[in-house]
Structure 1
């Protein structure tokens, strides 16, 4: 019985490796490419792919046996969204902040050592960020990443800091000790700002969205030209903080303050 259970868990893990790889790559791939990327026997991946395709989780594409995410996943996603108003709350907050500032707004999360753009609302201004929903970049390149990592257990945070990688601009911090300090500072301030760390002339101002346990489940961030990031006339830092608090109140994770949140 123990061996059968262990085999089943291994098969589930491999299936998630396949799904994670295809999600991150964002395009169809062959079983050989997937097996090579996840370090699994090609025969095992073929078997998993056949099973997932039969269930509609994956679908076959092209003439080289490529596969990609299937339509069944869409229905699972709809089931999740139907059971929670979280996505609707996030969407309203993004729309309000984008309308107020004219800047692009993102909701971001973390997947291991990557920061992931979960949702995005473009502003009305001329400046538009080039990232898209589903984009993944190393966490240490981003303002959101610092907040998403800050609240992790010490050992997990230390491991991520030790695996930090340089950014294209060369400005992202990679020293583990300094990264840990910046995470702590961002957490204490309830705000994180990065300027030209992932892209030249681009700044990001992020605030943590904390659940009722105080955990950072996501961030809401403004993506702005670096020349406007610190201009007090725009009040971006306060607006990002207020938007995060409004989300927490709407989801029942924070008690409404006596006065207006905008006055905090």
Structure 2
């Protein structure tokens, strides 16, 4: 970030900082750019004052002029600050989950496991969960719930969760048998009549299941989507190594 050509005396006086922030906010609200006249009307300041502050912000790279000189856009220094803030706010798992969504083209969700059940850590905004209440209340109705049951042999202990539905011994045998054959869990049309889901576990260093990555798609594509199980497993391995995830 260069500020060549500026001098200490050319910087904004302290009393102009509040107006400068208002100007930046107005420009940020318009992706196509804002003219100085538009900004002056929006902030209710004299046009000459706005021109002076806008020129100062351009000089210090907080704003940039459009190529056709029709207005102003956010400059490099604001974008760099936004990137720093975003990097601090983004959870550690975000790059892994986002890459899986791009790679598979399907809905990918991330869940955490705890002694009382499931936690939704990252829901795919493009394809929201169809029935989260049932998913979180009945472990037999979802691929994620199946993984939770497999990973919690003490589910009948006093501290086990109080699911709205309790799995039968027959349910548990069927879930375990299918997982042994496939190496992942699957549900078809149990949460939504036209969708199914695949799930792989995320393990900690003790090989305990601490969460799950799931891929949801239409029933007609479910068998084809199984080709992405390898990518889901690779993603689960990457997530297991992230320090912030060990507290699930």
Aligned residue for 2:148?
148
Assess if the C-alpha contact under 8 Å between 1:116 and 1:137 holds in 2. no
Q: Write the distance in 2 (CA, Å) between the matches of 1:179 and 1:242.
A: 27
Q: Write the distance in 2 (CA, Å) between the matches of 1:110 and 1:248.
A: 13
CA distance 1:252–1:132, change in 2 (3 Å): closer
CA distance 1:161–1:136, change in 2 (3 Å): closer
Matched, 1:228 2:231: no
**SS of equivalent residue, structure 1 residue 229:** helix
**SS of equivalent residue, structure 2 residue 220:** coil
Task: State TM-score, norm by structure 2.
Answer: 0.51
Matched, 1:120 2:112: no
CA distance 1:90–1:213, change in 2 (3 Å): same
Q: Write the distance in 2 (CA, Å) between the matches of 1:118 and 1:204.
A: 17
Matched, 1:215 2:208: yes
Q: How far off is 1:120 after superposition?
A: 1.5
Q: Give the one of 230, 240, 245 matched to 1:248.
A: 240
CA distance 1:118–1:163, change in 2 (3 Å): closer
CA distance 1:252–1:88, change in 2 (3 Å): closer
Matched, 1:186 2:179: yes
Aligned residue for 1:200?
193
Q: How far off is 1:179 after superposition?
A: 2.1
Aligned residue for 2:102?
99
CA distance 1:116–1:237, change in 2 (3 Å): same
Q: Write the distance in 2 (CA, Å) between the matches of 1:139 and 1:101.
A: 25
Assess if the C-alpha contact under 8 Å between 1:115 and 1:138 holds in 2. no
What does the per-residue CA deviation read over 1:154-209, in whole Å, with 9 as the maximum and x for residues that have no partner?
5638x97997739xxxxxxx542232441364267541111111221111111100
The two structures, once aligned, show a CA RMSD in angstroms of 3.8
- Determine which structure has greater relative contact order: mean sequence separation of CA pairs < 8 Å that are 6+ residues apart, divided by chain length: 2
Q: How far off is 1:237 after superposition?
A: 2.0
- Structure 2: give runs of 5+ residues left out of the alignment: 1-87
Q: Write the distance in 2 (CA, Å) between the matches of 1:249 and 1:109.
A: 14
Assess if the C-alpha contact under 8 Å between 2:97 and 2:108 holds in 1. yes
CA distance 1:115–1:196, change in 2 (3 Å): farther
Task: State TM-score, norm by structure 1.
Answer: 0.48
CA distance 1:119–1:195, change in 2 (3 Å): same
Assess if the C-alpha contact under 8 Å between 2:185 and 2:198 holds in 1. yes
Q: Write the distance in 2 (CA, Å) between the matches of 1:193 and 1:121.
A: 18
Aligned residue for 1:171?
none
Q: How far off is 1:117 after superposition?
A: 2.2
CA distance 1:119–1:155, change in 2 (3 Å): closer
What does the per-residue CA deviation read over 1:58-114, in whole Å, with 9 as the maximum and x for residues that have no partner?
xxxxxxxxxxxxxxxxxxxxxxxxxxx9x8332111101111112121111346675
